[in-house]
């Protein structure tokens, strides 16, 4: 049975303006056009119209819907699986946002969230240092000179990973993020005398907290903050220092939402 756009709208529950929009986007073209230019739809287009609208309500992009409608059953299943994964990731992000906003209060010190969206390559230098008032100043300066000598561009900031502390000695790694995307990570080579290693990080969510060197309650504070905002740490803590300022630093903790 052929239906005018008004009759088809009643059958599908979609207003004529939406149907015209779908036609313009080449999602749902009328089955035929009358001599008078009127649009006529067929019965078998009703489930297609409802499917398109369901995808739209599920926030599937127009272009993806168009590809889906023109694909084989096998390719349609691949698209559906991709959309499911994207929705799952969006739900996780929304849950993280919900948990964070629930824990924040105006005027109170709180953690911040930093997401490294892309794969990141880190260069980590190993150091054994005497405990002093400014233990990282000289090794950071040395590391930066080494990186500059081989034209290795980095993102500003040095990341301190404490491995061990015993007596008056600190065993640490000091890391730097490469500023450019590295295509052939496995082919990167570092001079052996650097006593350094490379690490490739997948996209990571960090919780960060501003801190001061003489803060005796820092560990208790960031543990309390993680619990308050519903995060579990998934890796070691880093302390980010900016050049020339060892009194203040930013604690970086890679996290996932509790229960993930």
The DSSP 8-state label assigned to residue 185 in this structure reads G
User: How high is the pLDDT of residue 118?
Assistant: 86
Kindly tell me if the per-residue pLDDT of 243 is higher than 70.
yes
Q: How far is CA 140 from the centre of its chain?
A: 29
* 82: its two tokens: 């991709």
151 and 179 in contact (C-beta within 8 Å)?
A: no
Q: Is this structure's pTM higher than 0.75?
A: no
Q: Of 173, 174, 172, 176, whose CA–CA distance to 131 is shortest? A: 172
* 189: its two tokens: 């080579």
User: What CATH class does 73-118+202-260 carry?
Assistant: alpha beta
The DSSP 8-state label assigned to residue 202 in this structure reads P
User: How high is the pLDDT of residue 212?
Assistant: 78
Residue-range domain boundaries for the chain: 3-70, 73-118+202-260, 120-201
Q: Does domain 3-70 have CATH number 1.10.1660.10?
A: yes
Residue with token string 């105006």: 106
Cα–Cα distance, 108 to 114 (Å, whole number): 19
User: How high is the pLDDT of residue 17?
Assistant: 94
The DSSP 8-state label assigned to residue 178 in this structure reads B
Cα–Cα distance, 139 to 193 (Å, whole number): 14
| Mean pLDDT computed over 190-194 | 90
Kindly tell me if the per-residue pLDDT of 249 is higher than 80.
yes
CATH architecture of residue range(s) 120-201: 2-Layer Sandwich (3.30)
Confidence category of residue 64, pLDDT binned at 50, 70, 90: very high
């Amino acid at each position: 049975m052929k239906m005018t756009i008004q009759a088809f709208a009643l059958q599908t529950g979609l207003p004529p303006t939406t149907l015209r929009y779908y036609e313009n986007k080449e999602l749902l073209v009328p089955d035929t056009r009358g001599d008078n230019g009127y649009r006529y739809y067929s019965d078998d287009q009703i489930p297609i119209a409802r499917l398109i609208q369901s995808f739209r309500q599920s926030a599937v992009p127009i272009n993806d819907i168009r590809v889906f409608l023109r694909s084989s059953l096998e390719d349609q299943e691949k698209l559906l699986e991709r959309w499911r994964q994207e929705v799952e990731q969006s739900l996780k992000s929304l849950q993280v946002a919900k948990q964070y906003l629930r824990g924040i209060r105006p005027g109170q010190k709180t953690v911040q969230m930093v997401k490294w969206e892309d794969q990141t390559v880190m260069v980590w230098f190993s150091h054994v240092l005497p405990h002093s008032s400014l233990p990282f100043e000289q090794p950071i300066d040395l590391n930066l000179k080494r990186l500059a000598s081989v034209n290795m561009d980095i993102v500003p900031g040095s990341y301190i990973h404490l491995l061990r502390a015993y007596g008056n000695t600190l065993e640490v790694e000091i890391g730097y993020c490469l500023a450019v995307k590295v295509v052939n990570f496995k082919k990167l080579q570092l001079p052996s005398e650097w006593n350094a290693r490379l690490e490739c990080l997948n996209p990571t969510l960090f919780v960060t907290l501003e801190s001061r060197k003489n803060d005796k309650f820092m560990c208790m504070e960031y543990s309390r903050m993680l619990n308050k905002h519903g995060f579990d740490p998934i890796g070691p803590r880093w302390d980010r220092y900016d050049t020339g300022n060892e009194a203040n630093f930013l604690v970086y903790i890679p996290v996932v939402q509790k229960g993930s």
